[in-house]
Amino acid sequence: MPPANCKEGDVATKYDWPAAADRSLIGKRISRTDGPDKVTGQAKYSYDRNLDGMLVAKIVSSPHAHARITKIDTRAAEGISGVRAVEIFNDVGAEIQWIGTEIVALAADTEEIARDAVAAVKVEYEVLPHLVKEEEVDKAGDRVKPAADKTTGDPDAAFGQAGAVHEGYYGLATITHCCHEPHGQVVDWTGDEIVVYASTQAVGRIGADLAKNLSADEAMGVVKPSDVRVITPVMGGGFGSKFAIDTWGIACAKLSKKTGKPVKLMLDRDQELMIAGGRPSDYGKIKVAAAKDGSLTAYESESWSTGGVTSRGAPPLPYVIEPPNTRIRHLNVSTNTGPARAWRAPNHPQAAVLTMCAYEDLAAKLGMDPLKLFKKNVGLTQRPEVYRAELDKAAQLMDWPAKWHPPGEGGSGHVKRGVGISMHTWGGRPHDSQCRVTIHPDGEVVAELGSQDLGSGTQTVIGIVAAETMGLPLSAVNVKIGDSNYPPSGPSGGSTTVGGVSSSTRRASVHALEQLKEAVAPSLGTTADQIEAGGGHLAVKGGSGKLSWKDACRKLGANSISETGKQPMRDGGKLADSGVGGVQMADVSVDTETGIVSMNKMVAVQDCGLIIDLKTADSQVYGALIQGICYALWEERIFDQATGIYLNADMEFYKLAGIGDIGELVVHMMTGVYDDRGVIGLGEPPVISPGAAISNAVANAIGVRVPTLPLTPDKVLAALEKKGGMA
Amino acid sequence: MSSNKTKEGPEKTQQPKNDFSRRTFLQGVGVGTTAVGAGVLTTEAKADHHEAKVHGPGAVPITLTVNGKAHKVDLEPRVTLLDALRDRLDYTGAKKVCDRATCGSCTVMLDGKAVYACSILAIEGQGRDIQTVEGLASGDNLHAVQAHFVENDAQQCGFCTPGFVVACKAFLDHNPNPTMADVERGLSGNICRCGTYVGVRQAVLDAARELQGGRRGD
């Protein structure tokens, strides 16, 4: 099968990835290099920084979803012994638009004193009318605004001529990021430099962000981006929610300036869930049509969602499989809820639910195995060959032909079993990145990038690329990331990191190695172009002369080699690409007496170009499946409309999967010819399909659609009742 | 901070070793001075234990034995064991995530049993053997659980990892030969956000085999 999107006429360059037979590290299963630091507790996260004289700051939050501040009195709080400084986020007169909004931050000698201070701050509010729920869009009044309205082809005619038409209601609730390490940072502004130890996905960006915001406050003086240094060697999860310095980062810096001491300000768990995360909901009435043979002809949607007070855009509908006739209408509902942040694969999981569930229900109406319907329509996707191959592979790994049954025929007992499918796509282009590779005379190789490792294995990938290029073991490369003093590399979002850092590192390593070859060529009695690196040696091609890496580097005398590589680079070859497809299948059991859905198995088949480290790539997909199981079955931000209260801003009732909840997970990465496209990001794609695949599996099991995620027992039982009792 | 009336060393309340429970927790805590503000618990404690010692509310000097090393520290009785370890003693391996005994990221061992350090007071840790993730490896030699976590990539962002590692260690101490079902039941008290459970399950089974005398990876 030809690699998808492989462009004709790509010119070979010295940077190109080594051929499969020549790879000793790339594509192998390699343990992450920061693993030992993490399992021993030695890895220092922002939350773990304990600097000399450091103060702890805590935040007073709004208890109201919508209100105006009428009075703030911090005198009692400031009178508490050990309270050192106060910073106001929102002053008297400010309109508060969601619960948890930051009002005041206080820095104190200890966390306990800071909490006393928070409790002693008196804030009075004029409470205003709120809307915190959006599913019943008819009740949203003038808070509803059109966000998209687009028609292609002639949907009305297509529906009129269709062999089968299905109309259904689907949706999924807003979920939050719930990063284990909450948002926050330690700021040390005790000297000329402002050092920010931030839990961030954007080491290279938030310094300038902070400088700009501080400069806007006269009391802070003029702060230049170069005055700020960001240090983040490890961070405890972001998932798209940690790109900005955020109000608490700015407040933390101001408190440090005011007190002349380092200040730690990490959000509390309830604040983390209320104000620092949120993936928009989506609900929609979907109408789909097909010919009698299952060829999809039309898709129509009337959908709505909330991203908080402001709009969050519209989901890409219809998703992956695009019939020729479509009508897409999307509404945005402004609610008094915490603002949306990018959540792995923004808008795609929602689009998958609003598309793939309708397609499977249409297949049911046609009396057709959905696998056949999806395969029949791969021509309506951007990469038919990839999806066809992936559907076949997934079906084999799931044993689909043996497991699928017509909807509702999931067994004779009260526990019904069913299977479902979903498909997804993502870009994953490389972000801009610079890498500096230094070879020291003692043989040390250092790769430096102002990048960050979110737990995706970025540090390991960089090491593998540098080591592979120089023919060294991975342990010979010292990878330094997570510091804005290193060459700039993009923020980690949208699956852009692996392509960016692997490309820049490859080029920097090629450049540095060229320099080393030049330096040792005279000793080997040849020219640089006749030297090859491998197995820890530099050797004359086809000859007998060779030097160990250490001996070769010794030839540098007192001078280190330091070379930079960039992504993008003109004439730098094609090391990375974008655009992938994936297929997932779920196998669930549904207890029709309790409504509980449990996972038996999930299969993920994923294309992502050349994989640098198969072990951490697999982990990304396993993790995505588990996060998908979470939002399919339990995760939901729950508000009470009467009070505007966020009911589950904690980890007891904001439910995530435990180790016993996930079933068997099977990951298959498409490799081989797919490698030819170069590196493509993987963080987003595999998290897109689980919701739709699991919903489809439940529908297959019980013969009725549970319309919205999460598929909680109450909704399962309600769907069964609507159907007329047990499946 | 006033030092107030109580300046005891280690707790003198009778506590069965290896039997940490809500009841013993409350006995040790004393009444009315804790951060655990649930009225029902306090009432129960009053009814059950008439000789509860009063600590604080100011800072009191205590000694905590962490990974075999004694540390003297002055802190208010309301300070949790987790905050004492992290903020006072710089044992930052245990993480503060939910801070409400739900997620397990703060797991340490107290007299050999896994506990949520966020929900135990530091003063309750006096006279007990506190083991944290920092104490598991000997030098560069990782404990079997740690080594198999690395091999199976049972970690991504790593923020739940130290708590998970300690929970796994304690689990294997008490269940040396677990089945997969045992692992899934016994480690249900730790939540990972990145989704590393596949690696964790395998790491625990591999570590069990190694600790039983099998070779790693066989």
* B118-141 pLDDT tens trace: 999 999 999 999 999 999 999 999
Enumerate the β-bridge partners of residue A597: A590
Distance CA A242, CA A452 (A): 12
Interface test with B, best of A32, A34, A39, A52 (most B CBs within 10 A): A39
pLDDT score, position A8: 54
- A673 pLDDT exceeds 80? yes
- A686 close to B (CB below 8 A): no
Q: Say yes or no: ipTM exceeds 0.95.
A: yes
- B25 pLDDT exceeds 60? no
Q: Which residue of A has its CA nearest to B184?
A: A660
Alpha-carbon gap: B92 to the closest alpha carbon of chain A (Å): 6
Q: Which residue of A has its CA nearest to B107?
A: A41
Q: What is the mean pLDDT of residues A214-238?
A: 97
Nearest Cα residue to A198 out of A179, A211, A183:
A183
| A138-171 confidence digits (pLDDT tens) | 999 999 999 999 999 999 999 999 999 999 999 9
Residue with tokens 């304990």, as numbered in its chain = A50
> In chain B, which residues have their Cβ closer than 8 Å to the Cβ of A625?
195
pLDDT score, position A313: 85
- A362 pLDDT exceeds 50? yes
pLDDT score, position B7: 37
Q: Which residue of B has its CA nearest to A452?
A: B157
Alpha-carbon A197 to chain mean position: 21
Per-residue pLDDT band for A724 (boundaries 50, 70, 90) equals: confident
Distance CA B215, CA A572 (A): 46
- A627 close to B (CB below 8 A): yes
Alpha-carbon A277 to chain mean position: 12
Amino acid at A381: T
- Which distant-in-sequence residues (6+ apart) come within 8 Å of A191 by Cβ? none
Give buried/exposed letters for A692-715 (b at 16+ CB in 10 A, else e).
Answer: bbbbbbbbbbbbbbbbbbbbbeeb
Q: Which residue of B has its CA nearest to A233?
A: B157
- A270 pLDDT exceeds 70? yes
The model carries a pTM of 0.93
Interface test with B, best of A28, A33, A38 (most B CBs within 10 A): A38
Which of helix, strand or coil describes residue A56?
strand
- A443 close to B (CB below 8 A): no
Per-residue pLDDT band for B39 (boundaries 50, 70, 90) equals: very low
pLDDT score, position B57: 84
CB contact under 8 A, A665 and B198: yes
pLDDT score, position B43: 44
Distance CA A522, CA A547 (A): 12
- A653 close to B (CB below 8 A): no
What is the count of residue pairs from A and B with beta carbons less than 8 Å apart? 179
> In this structure, are residues A618 and A239 in contact, taking their beta carbons and an 8 Å threshold?
no
| B53-100 confidence digits (pLDDT tens) | 788 889 999 999 999 999 999 999 999 999 999 999 999 999 999 999
Distance CA A160, CA A39 (A): 61
- Which distant-in-sequence residues (6+ apart) come within 8 Å of A420 by Cβ? A360, A370, A585, A586, A588, A692, A693, A694, A695, A696, A697, A698, A699, A700
> In this structure, are residues A716 and A597 in contact, taking their beta carbons and an 8 Å threshold?
yes
Task: Take residue A100 and report the two structure tokens written for it.
Answer: 């948890």
- A618 close to B (CB below 8 A): yes
CB contact under 8 A, A651 and B100: yes
Per-residue pLDDT band for A6 (boundaries 50, 70, 90) equals: very low
DSSP A137: G
CB contact under 8 A, A657 and B195: yes
Which of helix, strand or coil describes residue A701?
helix
Per-residue pLDDT band for A723 (boundaries 50, 70, 90) equals: confident
Neighbours of A243 (CB within 10 A): 18
| A602-656 confidence digits (pLDDT tens) | 999 999 999 999 999 999 999 999 999 999 999 999 999 999 999 999 999 999 9
pLDDT score, position B53: 78
DSSP A586: E
Interface test with A, best of B103, B105, B194 (most A CBs within 10 A): B194
CB contact under 8 A, B92 and A455: no
Distance CA B13, CA B31 (A): 13
| A442-485 confidence digits (pLDDT tens) | 999 999 999 999 999 999 999 999 999 999 999 999 999 999 99
More confident residue, A2 or B208: B208
Distance CA A389, CA A3 (A): 11
Which of helix, strand or coil describes residue A679?
strand
- Rg from Cα positions in chain B: 18
pLDDT score, position A7: 53
- A125 close to B (CB below 8 A): no
Per-residue pLDDT band for A543 (boundaries 50, 70, 90) equals: confident
Q: What is the mean pLDDT of residues A14-24?
A: 97
Question: Across all residues in chain A, what is the average pLDDT?
Answer: 96
Question: Which residue among A237, A620, A625 places its CB closest to the CB of B159?
Answer: A237
Distance CA A45, CA B107 (A): 17
The answer to whether the bond into A568 is cis (omega within 30° of 0) is yes
> In this structure, are residues A145 and A331 in contact, taking their beta carbons and an 8 Å threshold?
yes
- A52 close to B (CB below 8 A): no
More confident residue, B22 or A551: A551
> In chain A, which residues have their Cβ closer than 8 Å to the Cβ of B106?
none
Distance CA A457, CA A31 (A): 9
pLDDT score, position B91: 98
**Can you give B122-148 as a three-state secondary structure string?**
HHHHCCCEEECHHHCCECCECCHHHHH
Distance CA B78, CA B65 (A): 19
CB contact under 8 A, B188 and A659: yes
Distance CA A361, CA A357 (A): 6
- B24 pLDDT exceeds 80? no
Distance CA A608, CA A496 (A): 12
* Window A:27-46, CB contacts with B under 8 Å: 31-32, 34-36, 38-45
- B217 pLDDT exceeds 60? no
> In chain A, which residues have their Cβ closer than 8 Å to the Cβ of B199?
619, 622
> In chain A, which residues have their Cβ closer than 8 Å to the Cβ of B160?
180
| B148-184 confidence digits (pLDDT tens) | 999 999 999 999 999 999 999 999 999 999 999 999 9
Q: What is the mean pLDDT of residues A692-715?
A: 98
- A235 close to B (CB below 8 A): yes
CA angle B73, B76, B79 (to 5 degrees): 90
Helix (H) or strand (E) holding A437: strand A433-439
Nearest Cα residue to A25 out of A548, A463, A619:
A463
Task: Take residue A510 and report the two structure tokens written for it.
Answer: 């090629």
| pLDDT above 90: percentage of residues in chain A | 97
- Strand ranges across the sheet with B60-66: B69-75, B60-66, B129-131, B107-110, B113-116
Alpha-carbon gap: A108 to the closest alpha carbon of chain B (Å): 13
Amino acid at A606: Q
Per-residue pLDDT band for A51 (boundaries 50, 70, 90) equals: very high
> In chain A, which residues have their Cβ closer than 8 Å to the Cβ of B194?
180, 237, 455, 623, 627
CA angle A25, A26, A32 (to 5 degrees): 75
Alpha-carbon gap: A659 to the closest alpha carbon of chain B (Å): 5
Which of helix, strand or coil describes residue B42?
helix
CA angle B78, B81, B87 (to 5 degrees): 90
- B34 pLDDT exceeds 80? no
CB contact under 8 A, A627 and B93: no
Which of helix, strand or coil describes residue A180?
coil
Per-residue pLDDT band for A311 (boundaries 50, 70, 90) equals: confident
Alpha-carbon gap: A622 to the closest alpha carbon of chain B (Å): 7
Alpha-carbon A618 to chain mean position: 15
pLDDT score, position B55: 83
Nearest Cα residue to B11 out of B2, B20, B3:
B20
> In chain B, which residues have their Cβ closer than 8 Å to the Cβ of A665?
198
> In chain B, which residues have their Cβ closer than 8 Å to the Cβ of A268?
99
pLDDT score, position B49: 54
Question: Which residue among B76, B100, B161 places its CB closest to the CB of A652?
Answer: B100
Per-residue pLDDT band for A410 (boundaries 50, 70, 90) equals: confident
Task: Take residue A679 and report the two structure tokens written for it.
Answer: 């590196």
Q: What is the mean pLDDT of residues A486-497?
A: 97
> In chain A, which residues have their Cβ closer than 8 Å to the Cβ of B60?
none
Distance CA A463, CA A468 (A): 8
Distance CA B216, CA B199 (A): 15
Neighbours of B42 (CB within 10 A): 17
Alpha-carbon gap: A381 to the closest alpha carbon of chain B (Å): 30
